Amino acid sequence: MPKKPAVHPIADHEVDITWARTRQYMREDFARNVENFGGHGSWFTRLVWHLMPNVLAVSLYRVSRHLYLTGHGSLASLVSLLSLYLTRTELPPFSSIGRGFLIGHATAVTVIGRVGHNFTAYGVCGIGSGYGHDDVGAGPGRPVLGDNVTMAHCSLVQGPVVVGDNVSFGPHAHVTRDVPSNTMVIGAPSRVQRKPGPGAGESAAS
């Protein structure tokens, strides 16, 4: 009888994860933050950086992910919940995120799916389900993103879609279909319509 696939599949680099490898991922994450902050800084400055919500969120995710992959699901959920309260990011332990993870602004960043290495997420953006229930490698209805993907402020990827490597999402981009590698997703066309009631006869836009 064929083996039933995992509901939350893991990436190849996470197979037989060790604490040493998790620590290495945390160092690579922090190195990207140091570069983003513009320099190495003093020991005190680096301590402050470690306590910033965007850096703390990634570090707590690494701890929760390690606990999840080593069979401590309840404790992993507790650490993830603590991170949500402290940093306002939603990075559940069943999501897979590669090394070199950088959050530009912590508020309302959500990652529910599978993401490659060197992922950059700015504020109020994220990936998750919401369109369809197919499994493309991250669990039912969840997206899979490749390496070197950048998501600008308020960008979204929803549903069982596959995003290639080296893809950049512009502000307010909303994706519900596959995106090829080496591309940019830009623009957020909106429709302006008149409001009903008083003033409806006036111009909706100047």
Per residue of the chain (206 residues), give pLDDT as tens.
Answer: 434 345 677 899 999 999 999 999 999 999 999 998 887 778 899 899 999 999 999 999 999 999 999 999 999 999 999 999 999 999 999 999 999 999 999 999 999 999 999 999 998 999 999 888 898 989 999 999 999 999 999 999 999 999 999 999 999 999 999 999 999 998 765 455 565 766 544 444 43
Q: Tell me, what's the pLDDT at 38? A: 83
Q: Tell me, what's the pLDDT at 10? A: 87
Is residue 140 within 8 A of residue 134, CB to CB? The reply is yes
Q: Tell me, what's the pLDDT at 173? A: 93
Beta carbons within 10 angstroms of residue 5's beta carbon:
9
**Which CATH class for the 12-179 domain?**
mainly beta
pTM of the model: 0.87
Q: Tell me, what's the pLDDT at 141? A: 93
Helix 53-69, helix 43-51: angle, nearest 10: 70
* Beta strands in 55-191, from DSSP E residues, in sequence order: 96-97, 102-103, 110-111, 114-115, 120-121, 126-128, 144-145, 150-151, 156-158, 162-163, 168-169, 174-175, 184-185
Is residue 33 within 8 A of residue 65, CB to CB? The reply is no
Q: Which of left, alpha, beta for 139 (phi over 0: left; psi -120 to 50: alpha)?
A: left
Residue 46, phi then psi, degrees to nearest 5: -65, -35
Express the helix, strand and coil content of the chain in percent, nearest 5 each. 30, 15, 55
DSSP, collapsed to helix, strand or coil, labels residue 120 as strand
Q: Maximum Cα–Cα distance for the chain, whole Å?
A: 67
Beta carbons within 10 angstroms of residue 93's beta carbon:
26
Q: Where are the domains of the chain?
A: 12-179
